[in-house]
Amino acid sequence: ADKVEVFTHSWKEDEEHLRWESDGASGYTIDEVEGQRRGSRIVVHLKEEHEEFAKTHRVRGIVERYSNFVGFPVNLNDERVNTVEALWLRPKKEVTDEQYKEFYQFTAHAMDDPRYTMHFSADAPLAINALLFVPEENAERMGLGAQPPGVALYCRKVLIDAQPEGLLPEWLRFVKGVVDSEDLPLNISRESMQDTALVRKLSEVITKRFIKFLAKQAEDSPEDYKKFYERFNRFLKEGIVASPAHQELLAGLLRFESSMTDPGELSSFDGYLDRMNEGQEEIYFLVGSSREALERGPYFEGFRDRGLEVAFFTEAVDDYVLEGLREYKGKKLIAANRSGIELEDLPQEGEEDSLDEKETEGVISWLNSSLEGRVAQVEAGKRLVNHPMVALLPEDAPNAQMRAMMEAMGQEAPEAKAKLEVNPRHPLIRQLASIREERGELASKVADQLTNHALLAAGMEVNTADMAEEMAALIGDLLE
């Protein structure tokens, strides 16, 4: 503006009629101007290059953005602009579902209905009034890219920031709504928000309340929560990795199929703990492409036959998430494809046909020599039932997904060699033991192929071109 004038007159009739004027550079003047009505009138003399601020649509947009919820009417050309009520300040029992829906659609610029609505007020440790919504659908899942923050920050119904970066953690960007705190100063800037202890405390309180709200929804209506989880679980998993302070609370919201549930039925870690065998101290899990593939794979059968539950995770990010989670309520999370897991002895069918101790030692010694350099160690094990061999990752080695991520980031993944566990009861291993001395070359080729398949199942790197050539050569030898 070139200058600003403020005309004012007291409610007392005999008081002065005043005009305050300033150009913002040379100070201000105050003088008397007769004929003023009670109240104040502000006149802004715009510069020519900013004439757009005199246009009706521009003024309307500013009022709707920053003053839409103030408690007194704002009129523009004799028409009230701020017609939406600040529902977050009203008691929950006075607000209808239809009002919540209209408010959500207005603030989120949405056409759908809210899936969940969380309305709460608190006086301690901060004065907070919040009205938060979960949309029906996940926009990022629909290919719209990462969404900006969706919860606006207000102070006494005056907008501070429509998309505050520091108000909620980034993984809660799917949440829409309003947070109002009268403890915030009205002049807080966007730049200072992330460095303000008050905003950090506000974020912590709201985040914990929202996580507990989701847990209550999951308990009260599992089927509705299942639909939410199908659409929004990526955000919860992102939170486990990005927010260590909220890991355990978020882990309680995870859902998965399990060897103790029917196909399609989801369980939680709390459900797993309730079903744990007496004395069991670990939560076992597997990550793979599908439940069927995991149940048919070599890692599950030993746990199945011992009645040990295994949680099945089937999304690409799950490996990374569970690697960071480590434990839940004091119980360690252990991948069932890792070495170092001690399983109790269990009598199995075909035990009488198993290699005896001397034969087992002989074939294990030969395999260690034949596969030297490819694997860390070969030993006989008791976890396998229907498979001849399995590759187990060292306890402290990064899994296949972690290695791929490190390489994509230009970091060199530490070298990790798997340990092979052999099933001395399996016909292939018994036949391998019987031919290794008389037909050593053929036995070595068979051992290489068994090893290749075991390493592939473990997600370890295998030269598939060499593997195909070796398989062709092996088949050729067998057909001679």
Within the chain, all domains assigned CATH 3.40.50.11260 are found at 256-336
One-letter amino acid of 238: E
| DSSP per residue, 282-325 | EEEEEE-S-HHHHHHSTTTHHHHHTT--EEEE-STTHHHHHHHH
Is 419 in a helix, a strand, or coil?
strand
Once rounded to an integer, what is the mean pLDDT over residues 113-135?
Answer: 94
Closest CA to 280 of 216, 333, 214, 233: 333
Closest CA to 92 of 81, 84, 103: 103
Within the chain, all domains assigned CATH 1.20.120.790 are found at 354-480
Within the chain, all domains assigned CATH 3.30.565.10 are found at 3-80
Q: In what order do the strands lie in the sheet with 150-155?
A: 116-122, 128-134, 176-180, 150-155, 158-161
CATH superfamily to which 354-480 belongs: Heat shock protein 90, C-terminal domain (1.20.120.790)
Residue 414 reports pLDDT greater than 70: no
Q: CB neighbours of 348 closer than 8 A, spacing ≥ 6?
A: 305, 385, 425
Taking only the tens place, the pLDDT of each residue in 102-120 is 999 999 989 999 999 999 9
Minimum mean pLDDT range among 57-66, 269-278, 358-367: 57-66
Other CB atoms within 10 A of residue 150 CB: 22
Residue 191: predicted pLDDT: 57
> Can you name the CATH fold of 87-231?
Ribosomal Protein S5; domain 2 (3.30.230)
CA 109, 115, 119, 125 torsion-angle sign? negative
Residue 247 CA to its chain's centroid (Å): 10
Task: Kindly state the percentage of the chain with pLDDT values over 70.
Answer: 94
Is residue 319 within 8 A of residue 287, CB to CB? The reply is yes
Burial of 273 (0-12, 13-18, 19+ CB in 10 A): middle
Within the chain, all domains assigned CATH 3.30.230.80 are found at 87-231
Closest CA to 207 of 130, 146, 136, 154: 130
Q: Tell me the CB-side half-sphere exposure of residue 235, using CA atoms within 13 A.
A: 23
Phi, psi of 144 (to 5 degrees): -90, 5
CA 225, 231, 237, 242 torsion-angle sign? negative
Is residue 188 within 8 A of residue 196, CB to CB? The reply is yes
Select the more confidently predicted residue: 400 or 243.
243
We find that the CATH architecture of domain 256-336 is 3-Layer(aba) Sandwich (3.40)
Taking only the tens place, the pLDDT of each residue in 55-104 is 999 998 888 878 887 778 888 888 888 777 889 999 999 999 999 999 99
Taking only the tens place, the pLDDT of each residue in 197-224 is 888 899 999 999 999 999 999 999 999 9
Is residue 311 within 8 A of residue 286, CB to CB? The reply is yes
Q: In what order do the strands lie in the sheet with 389-392?
A: 377-380, 419-422, 389-392
Record the pTM.
Answer: 0.80
Please state, rounded to an integer, the average pLDDT across all residues of the chain.
Answer: 89
Question: What value, to the nearest 5°, has the Cα angle with vertex 140 and ends 138 and 144?
Answer: 125
Residue 350: predicted pLDDT: 56
We find that the CATH architecture of domain 3-80 is 2-Layer Sandwich (3.30)
Which whole-number Å values give the CA distances from 204 to 72, 125, 437, in the listed order? 32, 11, 67
Taking only the tens place, the pLDDT of each residue in 329-343 is 999 999 999 888 888
Report the alpha-carbon distance of residue 284 to residue 448 in Å, rounded.
Answer: 30
Residue 343: predicted pLDDT: 85
